[in-house]
């Protein structure tokens, strides 16, 4: 799944799209940068699962019912023979503990949330109101009565299954919260939900991998949308700070006034004349127009982790190399 995302990110390292905060247009980013954000999320999920395994891989064999045993057993030997890293160190804890399940389910639930967020974005992108990307018939279906519909069913199912996975974690937490040491029959409830959650998570990852590969972005629509909502206003404010040496608070105020003028005239910042800008700040020069295009905006974000296309290409290639290993 990470490989599918990184490959698509590399292909679209310079494809401009709107970045959002509060689901409102904020600043232009690239489609590749957006996809790499999920590669990072899923990397942390993998790390959490690895960490969980380091703690869960202990053998309870020999703890007996709760107190250990009087027989001369070698628990270290049996743990090694069965492929565990070590034996558990307390017989009561061995019988009563389900942290190893809870931690695994917690990692699975966080991963499911990441999957659900990406699925939700795909659902939004597929809407005509956004029109940022589409799915083929492999991952979408028509309506039973409306022939024009193409519903992103695979994304919706992934979004729905996240509740099932989160529910398994919640269910076991509730089972565990009032149990005294050591064993109670309630603890058999750790099995069914866990197996179902991990099966569902595997299914969702397989579906998302296919869906990412299938996703076809509408680059023209995304680029047009990236310029809406005065998304380059921050670039203008930054230019005022860099070029005119203004404090950012003052640059923010000037930019706000220019946005208000553009909004009154129902046009973009880049459509304001130099005279209109100089009426607010006389020192603004013709050079300002170079920062008002969305492509110039994303190219300028060269800080480490930023959306500049060269950054995205570098990170995508690093991820593909890492994943190949």
Catalytic center residues: 22, 143
For 92-121, give one letter per residue: b (16+ CB within 10 A) or e: ebbbbbbebbbbbbbbbbbbbebbbebbeb
Secondary structure element (H or E) that encloses residue 29, with its range: strand 24-30
Give the count of beta carbons closer than 10 Å to the beta carbon of residue 325: 4
- The neighbour count for residue 267, using CB atoms within 10 Å, is 11
Q: Are 60 and 95 in contact (CB under 8 A)?
A: yes
Query: For residues 258 and 251, what is the distance between their CA atoms, to the nearest angstrom?
Result: 11
Spatial distance between the Cα atoms of 161 and 249, rounded to a whole number of angstroms: 46
219: phi then psi, degrees, rounded to nearest 5: -65, -35
Specify which residues 134 forms β-bridges with.
216
Contact 65, 95 (CB under 8 A): yes
Radius of gyration of the chain (CA): 27
227: closest CA among 72, 14, 17?
17
In the chain, the largest separation of any two C-alpha atoms, in whole Å, equals: 93
Given the structure tokens 């996240």, which residue do they identify? Answer: 162
Q: Pull the structure tokens for residue 55.
A: 């703690």
């Amino acid at each position: 799944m990470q490989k599918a995302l990184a490959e698509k990110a590399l292909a679209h390292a310079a494809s401009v799209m709107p970045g959002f905060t509060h689901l409102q247009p904020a600043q232009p980013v690239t489609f590749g940068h957006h996809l790499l954000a999920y590669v990072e999320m899923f990397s942390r999920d993998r790390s959490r699962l690895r960490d969980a395994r380091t703690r869960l891989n202990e053998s309870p064999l020999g703890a007996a019912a709760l107190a250990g045993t009087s027989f001369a057993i070698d628990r270290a030997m049996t743990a090694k023979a069965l492929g565990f890293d070590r034996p558990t160190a307390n017989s009561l804890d061995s019988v009563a503990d389900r942290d190893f399940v809870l931690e695994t389910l917690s990692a699975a639930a966080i991963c499911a949330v990441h999957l659900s967020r990406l699925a939700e974005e795909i659902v939004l992108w597929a809407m005509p109101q956004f029109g940022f990307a589409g799915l083929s018939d492999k991952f979408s279906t028509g309506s039973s009565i409306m022939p024009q519909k193409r519903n992103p069913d695979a994304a919706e199912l992934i979004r729905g299954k996240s509740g099932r996975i989160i529910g398994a974690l919640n269910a076991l937490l509730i089972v565990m919260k009032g149990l005294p040491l050591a064993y109670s029959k309630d603890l058999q409830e750790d099995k069914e939900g866990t197996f179902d959650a991990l099966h569902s998570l595997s299914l969702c990852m397989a579906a998302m991998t296919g869906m990412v590969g299938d996703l076809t972005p509408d680059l023209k629509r995304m680029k047009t949308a990236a310029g809406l909502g005065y998304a380059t206003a921050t670039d203008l404010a930054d230019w005022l700070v860099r070029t005119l040496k203004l404090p950012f608070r003052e640059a923010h105020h000037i930019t706000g006034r220019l946005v208000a003028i553009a909004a009154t005239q129902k046009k973009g910042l880049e459509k304001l004349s130099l005279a209109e800008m100089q009426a607010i700040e006389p020192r603004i020069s013709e050079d300002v127009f170079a920062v008002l295009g969305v492509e110039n905006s994303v190219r300028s974000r060269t800080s480490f982790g930023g959306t500049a296309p060269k950054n995205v290409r570098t990170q995508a290639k690093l991820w593909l190399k890492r994943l190949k290993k």
